[in-house]
Amino acid sequence: MAGRYTGGYVIEPKTGIHKNVIVLDFRNLYPSIIVTHNIDPTTLNRKDCKRKVSVPGFERWFCQDKIAPVPKRIKKILEDRWKLKAQLKKKYDPKLAKKEQQLKLAANIAYGYFGYPKSSYYSIECAESISAFGRHYIQKVIKYAGKAGLNVIYGDTDSVFITGSQSKAKHFLDKINKSLPGIIKLEFRGIYKKGLFVSTKGGKGAKKKYALIDEKGELLIRGFETRREDWCMLAKDTQKKILNYVLLEKNKEAIAYTKTIVKKIKNKKVKLSDLILSVQLTKSIEKYKVSSAHVEVAKKMNNVQEGTMIKFIITKGSGPIFKRAKPINKAKINQIDEDYYINKQVIPAAMRVLSIFGVKENQLK
């Protein structure tokens, strides 16, 4: 189908807890590929070309004789961004930080524009080639990391998670960067005391699903409910606390903590504000054909427009959940549906983590 092509390379994570996790990440991978290999519709399969670079897995090339318009523009953006990052390392400035993020977005958007039919430089071949180069480089890193005696536990598009000695990792990083062309560079992003990785193979979960904890006890979470808007704060906080416990190998404490939260919900000893659900209206109310909680609540509100974040509470009673959703200013703690918040929010959020360790739902109630 037009517009469809293979994206980044992903290897399934080795499920479980790993110690001393080192994170390596390509610096601006796709923009760097565009610049390094001069990817532009005007250089694609150009006949009058002296220097060519072939695309891995395809019978096509990009001419390297003269830098093309898109790579030239991206190169300038990247150089400006890297200068700002260097300045921010010396002294943080919120205005410079905002500018740096704008440049990051400007650089990354080029890849998407190649695959966007209405773009002035639309070219599926270019977009497809960029992701092909990306797969080639991350596979190269994974292959040589193994040869260097490092254990690769996860890889996704432009990031690689490994375990092994820091000295081996540093030596590997220096060596791999010498073999990478142009401005493509692999960087050290951090080392974490422990990491929990979850395989999503065969499921519909987030591709990235892991939690890391550093020496200071700070968590880096990806793919769990703590990152989603359609879960209440109590479910998010419970899962975050559980992740912290299991990363410290305190599974019994994690179970006990979940049971405490369940008991508090049953006794209505929780804050109403921690039970709020927030779902954004992605279109005007009249365009929704299927009833849902946030749409029903939006109908009861004044001047609600597309893009509004609808906040509500699920109350007890009969009938489907969407009929029992109330705006937060019209709900009281004694009206909450305890069963919903226990069995549809807190327990599922907890089980996303604890099921990995063989814990059953009935152990949490």
CA 11 centroid distance within chain:
15
pLDDT score of 206:
44
Task: List Cβ neighbours of 301 (8 Å cut-off, separation of 6 or more).
Answer: 310, 327
pLDDT score of 204:
43
CB 45 within 8 A of CB 60: yes
**φ, ψ for residue 269, nearest 5 deg:** -100, 35
Prediction pTM value: 0.81
CA 50 centroid distance within chain:
41
CB 97 within 8 A of CB 86: no
Judged by DSSP in three states, 68 sits in: coil
**φ, ψ for residue 279, nearest 5 deg:** -135, 135
**How far from 49 is each of 41, 66, 76, 96, 130, CA to CA, in Å?**
14, 10, 24, 41, 20
pLDDT score of 201:
59
CB 26 within 8 A of CB 158: yes
Q: Rounded to an integer, what distance in angstroms lies between the CA atom of residue 267 and that of residue 338?
A: 9
**Residues in a beta bridge with 187:** 25
Map tokens 């991350």 to a residue: 138
- Averaged pLDDT, groups of 10, the chain, 365 residues long: 69 90 95 97 93 94 95 95 92 92 91 86 93 96 94 93 92 96 95 88 58 90 74 94 93 96 96 94 88 89 87 92 91 94 95 91 91
**Residues in a beta bridge with 24:** 160, 188
Domains and CATH numbers, the chain: 10-213 (3.90.1600.10), 225-365 (1.10.132.60)
Q: Rounded to an integer, what distance in angstroms lies between the CA atom of residue 239 and that of residue 16?
A: 16
Q: Rounded to an integer, what distance in angstroms lies between the CA atom of residue 85 and that of residue 97?
A: 8
